[in-house]
Amino acid sequence: MLRFVLPLTGCLFAVFALADDAFDGIRAQLSGGQLFKNFEVLIHDSDEQPIKNVTVTPWALRSSQGHGRWNDGDEFAEMSPVAVTTDAKGVATIRYPFYRNVKEETRTFSVSVNLSHPDFTIADSIHIDVPLLDDEPKKIEMVRAAQLEFIPESSAQDFETAQIHVVSSDRSTALSKSIKRTTDRVRLETLSPGPFRAMLVRLVDGQATAFSEPIELKLKSGQNKAIKAVMHPAIDIRGRLGDEVPRPVIAGRVCAIASPRKHPLPNFDWAQWAPVDEDGEFVIKGYPRSEPLQVIALCDHFIARNGRDPNAKPKPDDPSKPDFFGGLKAVAEIAEELTRPSHRPCSRPQTFASNPQQPILIRMSPLVRCQITVVNPDNDPLSNVLVGASPNVFWWDWGSQVYGDSLMRSTEWLTGTTVEEPWYSDSVRGYDMPFFEYSDAKGESIIYLPPGKQSLFVYDKADGYQLPIFMGRRDCDVTVVAGEKLSITLQLEPPGVESLGEYDKLAGVVFGCSTREGKQICALPEVRERMNDFARRLREADDPRDPVVLAEAYTVVAEAFDRAGDKAEADRWRSKAEAQKAKLEKLP
């Protein structure tokens, strides 16, 4: 089992073997600083011949806290990603941070990279577990790219191909400047062979004015047959928020994306957002007439209701007979579901058919008023602490994101003018950041959240106060009930008490064996059973934060790591169990 701790212990041994003046960075790592690590990739074709001049761009990192984008100037890793190019042997060296988050000492488990080349392609990003298990480069195969030409046809007098852009299911159209134009054609040169779906867009002064119908085909390597595409005028979709929202509507906005349909081909993205006026009305401009849409909406104290799955099939009771009670049964099922505390009634978009002839109506639901008070260990109030939650919207067949956190426009992606606020920004396109607020002098903040189970977060930029860690996360789960105000006090701790990095191995094992190391540990006899026992104890406890429960659960974890042969990790969890027992002794 010692091999599971070699990446860290190997770094420690290296520190003591190196000269003081040459390795200040490693010494900084020992006191909470960063350490730069490297690995090699070898890019080859289907004949295992090396490919030179492949650009390899790291773009995301995975840790025990999840998978997230690695941006330039990343303040958590304290280093930026650097794109590299393969040499004549097809080899490139990737640099990555040992710690995904320096302050929390959470390790980097995986590095995600994109590959680009004029003649070769790959279907998707590559996710590489680090460190590599041996000194050999990570081998990655690319295939010969497909080329495709579009011949756009338009009746507009001022039409020119320079105005034509392409949205497609192929990532290369978004990741590289692979579009070339002539007087009558648009050419894509680095597409992946296989199923392909695309749509041409005409942009004039940054606005979408025309679209082609969706183009669906299967690409082969090399040149494919040119496709003619007739351009049709874009449509504007008008709509209004339901009367549930009092007028005047304050800070209203809607976001719409093309609603993917169930078919064997992947899909392209198209997204637009629009402000809502005081009368509750809005206009989504420049939308393709061929595409259904799914919509979310926010305004002060209200959020769009849940939508229905556009691809849902009716229950196969008896298709030959009408179901006179189907509506009543559906209402009863929804009512029953709404009574469950974990239900999240605002997490799905509402859906609408393509090219609606009448204004669409977005039905809304009230958010719940939540008073959150933050205090220090002495119960003194803490001011200017950002408090809030990040409820997600789960788009139909598309993915998820924080609800209303990103107001997206595909036109900006295509023109390279995307507006991205930093994660800690106070606003999104001039609107206050949803679901977050700063505490006042009394330590109080008022936020409005959707009903259901929500996770509260805090961020204290000035003094670094933070939530205590529970199960490898710095958050606090609460159940928000529709129609009931919530009031809760969060006791924060100063920085340095405990780091999330201490939970790296536990997170990798318990949360679905999400890391390579976790999978190896779970494969050992009896370890999986003990970890399941640990999770069960917390799941069934009335109060999973009870020191009695945690002391017992942490002891089970220590026994599991003992059986895995990881004495250092076992000792860590025995110490945590003893700390919980010590809390019991202090209780009156």
Q: Cα–Cα distance between 527 and 562 in angstroms, integer?
A: 9
Question: What is the per-residue pLDDT across 256-286, written as a single tens digit (0 to 9) for each?
Answer: 998 765 555 567 889 999 999 999 999 999 9
DSSP 396-411: TTTEEEETTT----HH
Residue with tokens 């999986």: 528
pLDDT beyond 80 at 22: no
Strands (E), 403-520: 427-428, 431-432, 436-438, 444-449, 452-459, 476-480, 486-491
CATH 2.60.40.1120 in the chain, residues? 35-143
Question: What is the per-residue pLDDT across 539-587, written as a single tens digit (0 to 9) for each?
Answer: 788 888 888 888 888 888 888 888 878 888 888 889 989 988 888 877 6
Q: Cα–Cα distance between 131 and 134 in angstroms, integer?
A: 8
- Residue range 188-211: mean pLDDT, rounded: 95
Confidence category of residue 308, pLDDT binned at 50, 70, 90:
confident
CB 185 within 8 A of CB 149: yes
Sheet harboring 138-141: ordered strands across? 91-97, 36-44, 138-141
Any idea which of 159-168, 246-255, 348-357, 554-563 has the lowest mean pLDDT? 554-563
580 contacts: CB under 8 Å, gap ≥ 6? 547, 548, 550, 551, 554
Phi, psi at residue 193, to the nearest 5°?
A: -60, 145
Share of the chain above pLDDT 90, in %: 57
CA quadruple 466, 469, 470, 471: dihedral positive or negative? positive
Is the N-terminal amide bond of 131 cis, ω within 30° of 0?
yes
| Enclosing H/E stretch for 15 | helix 6-16
pTM: 0.82
What's the Cα-to-Cα distance from 464 to each of 425, 440, 444, 460, rounded to whole Å?
A: 17, 17, 17, 5
Side chain identity, residue 441: A
- Calculate the average pLDDT of the chain: 84
pLDDT beyond 70 at 328: no
Kindly give the interhelix angle for 547-563 and 527-540, rounded to the nearest 10 degrees: 170
Q: What is the β-pairing status of strands 194-204 and 207-212?
A: antiparallel
State the architecture of 145-233 in CATH terms. Answer: Sandwich (2.60)
In the prediction, which pLDDT does 419 show?
64
Side chain identity, residue 9: T
- Residue range 25-31: mean pLDDT, rounded: 51
CB 208 within 8 A of CB 327: no
CA quadruple 417, 420, 425, 427: dihedral positive or negative? positive
Homologous superfamily of domain range 369-420+427-491: Immunoglobulins (2.60.40.10)
Question: What is the per-residue pLDDT across 346-361, written as a single tens digit (0 to 9) for each?
Answer: 689 999 999 999 999 9
| Enclosing H/E stretch for 195 | strand 194-204
At the topology level, CATH places domain 35-143 in Immunoglobulin-like (2.60.40)
CA quadruple 297, 330, 338, 399: dihedral positive or negative? negative
Q: Which of 138, 137, 139, 132 is nearest to 7 (CA)?
A: 132
Confidence category of residue 460, pLDDT binned at 50, 70, 90:
very high
Q: Which of 455, 470, 467 is nearest to 553 (CA)?
A: 470
CB 113 within 8 A of CB 84: no
Residue with tokens 């239900």: 343
pLDDT beyond 50 at 369: yes
pLDDT beyond 70 at 6: no
CATH 2.60.40.10 in the chain, residues? 369-420+427-491
Q: Cα–Cα distance between 150 and 179 in angstroms, integer?
A: 11
In the prediction, which pLDDT does 521 show?
66
pLDDT beyond 50 at 368: yes
pLDDT beyond 50 at 400: yes
Q: Cα–Cα distance between 556 and 573 in angstroms, integer?
A: 9
Strands (E), 52-124: 55-63, 66-69, 84-85, 91-97, 99-101, 106-107, 110-116, 120-121
Question: What is the per-residue pLDDT across 414-455, written as a single tens digit (0 to 9) for each?
Answer: 888 766 665 556 677 788 889 999 999 999 999 999 999 999
Is the N-terminal amide bond of 248 cis, ω within 30° of 0?
yes
Confidence category of residue 329, pLDDT binned at 50, 70, 90:
very low
pLDDT beyond 60 at 337: no
CB 449 within 8 A of CB 389: yes
Q: Which two tokens stand for residue 431?
A: 């609107």
